[in-house]
Structure 1
Amino acid sequence: MRFVRLFIFVFIFLSGGKLFAQSSSELKRQKEALTREIEMLNSSLKQTSSSKRLSLKQINVLEAQIRLREQKIGTINSEIRLLNNQISDNTSTVHSLQSQLEKLKKEYAGMVLFAFRNQSAYSKLMFIFAAQDFNQAYKRLKYLQQFGDYRRKQAQYILGTQKDLNIKIVELDQNKRQKSNLLSEEEKEKTTLGGEKNNKAKELGKLAKEEKQLKREISKKQQQAARLNSAIRAAINREILAAKRKAEQEAREAAARAKAENPSAPAPAPKTVSNTSSVLAATPEALKLSSDFLSNRGRLPWPVSNGVIVEGFGPHRQGVNVMINNDGIDIKTAEGASVRAVFSGDVTRVMDVGGSYAVLIRHGEYFTVYSNLKSVNVSNGQKVSVKQAIGSVITDSSDGTTLLHFEVRKGADPMNPSSWLAN
């Protein structure tokens, strides 16, 4: 039973090591992804001419860079906590294995001493022949055989335990070195974060001094957002109205058929259809598309192959003490980046919004919006598939930023796109 317990003990810790490896590799992947996103934003900021004043969009890039840096530090802290747990587990394992090894060696030493005292073949024979009957003699013979087998197994257990102990000691040393490296990396990231925050404060101070220019910039952005929102709502309301009329027409035709089949039956009450997004999923095809879109929440592909969210959804502070509302998210991406549909659907409308384009795609009662496009290669009414290219992002010539504005709506109501996209 002692060896069974030892086996279970070692198995549990080996399994824990496997789980640790999985968690550790996942944290490393997260850290590497954050590092790539930070480097992308760094590259974007370096491309901006030092002679130009940073715009609000570039301030958003700075804020995103700080946010990602904080997330990276948080990931490093998670790695350190995981290593602390593993160090504690491995330390306990080493102590337990050392104690187990000590007991095994003492037991083995006792067996060796007993075997030495009874190593004579004459003594063994006398032990067997001194039995009272044949049955007892047979049991004594089996005992001597089992004792020899047990000694050999005991020696194997000692070697195996020693090997496990050496492995755990090596793992423990590796854990401690990894922790030391992570602590150094964390200090470096904190120093860099402090510099980035100082840089942001400095640029915000410059913006505050240029109040008139800042107000014009904010006003321009709000007007663009209002125009886009108005155009989107108008297009969606037209879809709702068309779906409502279609549903009412189908209800009238069904009533007429029922009347023709049974003229004596009372006329059914006229069916009214509410003017809400629910009418967009009135047909089986639209209902299935809505259900499929909803079931993929959190798993939709990004509208660009490479990008970082620099402005989130909802109300938030814009650079300085100005509160604005964002109906979607703004994604910083590479110049000339291709934009792709996040789900299959129908192009409801391609819109020209003040020098750039926006594409509205319907997925049953849901819609996705892709705006700030330089060009589009889809048209009204066209069916698109997942990841199909629909256009490319425009780059602002005044500050060099390349931002895609992306929205998800249920009917006309905006939803947070971040919760729909794959992590």
Structure 2
Amino acid sequence: MKVHKLLFILFFSCFAFMASAQTESQLRKKKEAIEREIEQLQRNLNKTASGKKLTLQQINAINAQIRLRQDKIGTINSEIKNLDNQISQNTNTVHTLQGQLGDLKKEYAGMIRFAQRNRNSYDKMMFIFAAKDFNQAYKRIKYLQQFSQYRKKQAGYIENTQQDLNGKIKVLDKTLKEKSTLLREQEEERARLGKDKSQQSVALSKLTKQERQFKQDISSKKREQQQIDRAIRAAIQRAIEEARRKAAEEARLAAAKAAAEARAAEAKAKAENKPVPKTNTAPATKEKTTSELLTATPETARLSAGFENNRGRLPWPVATGSITERYGLHKVDLASYTNDGVDITTNDGATVRAVFAGKVVMVQNIMGRTAVVISHGEYFTVYQNLRGVSVSVGNSVDTKQAIGSVANTGDDAILKFQIRRGQSTLNPEAWISK
């Protein structure tokens, strides 16, 4: 029973270790990804720091870097918590193994003392010959044999338990060292976060001095974006109107076919001197919603459903990058503006790829910036600030197919990415993979 209990404890501790190791691996990967994003943002900031003029991209990059550092500290905290659980489990296992080892040693000591008292052959022979009959003598012989075998097994159990105990103590020491390393890393990251916040304070102070110029820059960007957004909405509206035109044409053809069939039935009835069948007047067709229009065919319905089913799992439109401006309303000092998507800072010339299969409905150059819109049933993805576009209107594209590259129109290479359902904008962070 004690051996079974020991095996159960070892099995449970191994299972817990495997589960924690998996979590530890996931946390390590997440931390490494955050570190890559921070490094890329820092390179961009170093490149633009020499400029006297403060830009919105610099402020967004600093804010994004602070957010990433906070995420990294949170990830390190999760790693430390995970290690604390492992330390607790391993400490309990060590105590249990030490208790089991003590019990096994006590039992073994008792057997050794018994063996010492009955160590000569004469005593063993007297023990056997003192039996009252042959059957009892045989049982005593078997007992002495089994006792010897059991003593050897107990010695093996003691040795194995000692090895397991030594192994667990080594794992515990290693885990404690890892925790110590993580605590140092956490302190270093907090110091870097403090420097980033100081840099943010300096940037905001600089912003106050350049307030007038900064507001003019934001107003200019808002006008440019409004022009691009009008073109995007127009392209989506054209796609909706084209779907409506097709639906109306199908309804007209269906009505014409029904009328022709009714006339043929009437002519046949008259020729055979039979009563003319009554024709049912079709009720007025209910006007379809935008969603119904954009998913009217099996292909568009399949695309739309596939896009929706991949919510939270869509690939990023670039292989590497950081979200430096999020979806929604933004306020910088007294100026404010709305971003209908997200800004992804990446490498200059980075390849832009479609996040899902679909059909290109717009490729348009506006004020030196090319925008591409791809239809996925009732969903649309928008890619702005491109150069070297490799697709044209009407082309079908596959998931992760290259459609162009990111242009550097200022201090950084920034892809502006949107997701829309019809004309309504959606937050891309809820759709692309974490």
Q: Structure 2-normalised TM-score? A: 0.93
Q: Once structures 1 and 2 are overlaid, which stretch shifts more, 50-59 or 36-45?
A: 50-59
Q: Once structures 1 and 2 are overlaid, which stretch shifts more, 44-53 or 165-174?
A: 44-53
Match of 2:246 in 1: 246
Structure 2: distance between partners of 1:153 and 1:107? 12
Q: Once structures 1 and 2 are overlaid, which stretch shifts more, 269-278 or 36-45?
A: 269-278
Q: Which of 257, 269, 280 is the aligned partner of 1:266? A: 280
AA partner of residue 365 (structure 2): D
The answer to whether residue 194 in structure 2 is matched with residue 194 in structure 1 is: yes
Match of 1:417 in 2: 428
Structure 2: distance between partners of 1:346 and 1:230? 20
Structure 2: distance between partners of 1:221 and 1:284? 40
Secondary structure class of the residue paired with 2:420: strand
User: Does the 8 Å CA contact 1:108/1:151 hold for their aligned counterparts?
Assistant: yes
Match of 1:367 in 2: 380
* Displacement of 1:111: 0.8
Relative to 1, partners in 2 of residues 1:123 and 1:413: Cα closer, same or farther, differing over 3 Å? same
User: Does the 8 Å CA contact 2:345/2:415 hold for their aligned counterparts?
Assistant: yes
Secondary structure class of the residue paired with 2:388: strand
Structure 2: distance between partners of 1:261 and 1:125? 115
Match of 1:292 in 2: 306
Match of 1:402 in 2: 413
Structure 2: distance between partners of 1:403 and 1:389? 17
Deviations 1:179-208 (A, max 9, x none): 111111111111111111111111111112
AA partner of residue 371 (structure 1): Q
What is the correspondence of 1:251-400 to structure 2 with a 5 Å cutoff? 251-262=251-262, 263=265, 264-318=278-332, 320-397=333-410, 400=411
Match of 1:142 in 2: 142
Deviations 1:21-76 (A, max 9, x none): 22112111111111111010111111115143220111101111111111111111
Q: Once structures 1 and 2 are overlaid, which stretch shifts more, 74-83 or 136-145?
A: 136-145
Q: Once structures 1 and 2 are overlaid, which stretch shifts more, 234-243 or 114-123?
A: 114-123
What number of residue pairs does the alignment pair up? Answer: 420
* Displacement of 1:251: 2.3
* Displacement of 1:86: 1.4
* Displacement of 1:223: 1.6
Match of 2:273 in 1: none
Structure 2: distance between partners of 1:124 and 1:386? 83
Match of 1:48 in 2: 48
* Displacement of 1:137: 3.6
Structure 1: distance between partners of 2:176 and 2:295? 58
Q: Structure 1-normalised TM-score? A: 0.95
Secondary structure class of the residue paired with 2:355: coil
Deviations 1:100-121 (A, max 9, x none): 1111101101011112212233
AA partner of residue 59 (structure 1): I
AA partner of residue 22 (structure 1): Q
RMSD: 1.7
User: Does the 8 Å CA contact 2:48/2:58 hold for their aligned counterparts?
Assistant: no
Match of 2:159 in 1: 159
Structure 2: distance between partners of 1:166 and 1:121? 39
Relative to 1, partners in 2 of residues 1:118 and 1:372: Cα closer, same or farther, differing over 3 Å? same
User: Does the 8 Å CA contact 1:248/1:273 hold for their aligned counterparts?
Assistant: no
Structure 2: distance between partners of 1:64 and 1:2? 57
The answer to whether residue 28 in structure 2 is matched with residue 28 in structure 1 is: yes
Secondary structure class of the residue paired with 1:185: helix
* Displacement of 1:124: 3.0
Secondary structure class of the residue paired with 1:376: coil
Secondary structure class of the residue paired with 2:282: coil
* Displacement of 1:273: 2.7
User: Does the 8 Å CA contact 2:349/2:406 hold for their aligned counterparts?
Assistant: yes
Relative to 1, partners in 2 of residues 1:258 and 1:374: Cα closer, same or farther, differing over 3 Å? same
Whichever of the two has the greater Rg, that structure is 2
Secondary structure class of the residue paired with 2:419: strand
Structure 2: distance between partners of 1:132 and 1:282? 98
User: Does the 8 Å CA contact 1:310/1:330 hold for their aligned counterparts?
Assistant: yes
Unaligned runs of 5+ in 1: none
Secondary structure class of the residue paired with 1:297: coil
* Displacement of 1:12: 0.8
Structure 1: distance between partners of 2:207 and 2:223? 20
Secondary structure class of the residue paired with 1:391: strand
AA partner of residue 290 (structure 2): T
Structure 1: distance between partners of 2:67 and 2:59? 12
AA partner of residue 197 (structure 2): K
Deviations 1:72-91 (A, max 9, x none): 11111111111112112211
Relative to 1, partners in 2 of residues 1:261 and 1:123: Cα closer, same or farther, differing over 3 Å? farther
Relative to 1, partners in 2 of residues 1:133 and 1:411: Cα closer, same or farther, differing over 3 Å? farther
User: Does the 8 Å CA contact 1:290/1:363 hold for their aligned counterparts?
Assistant: yes
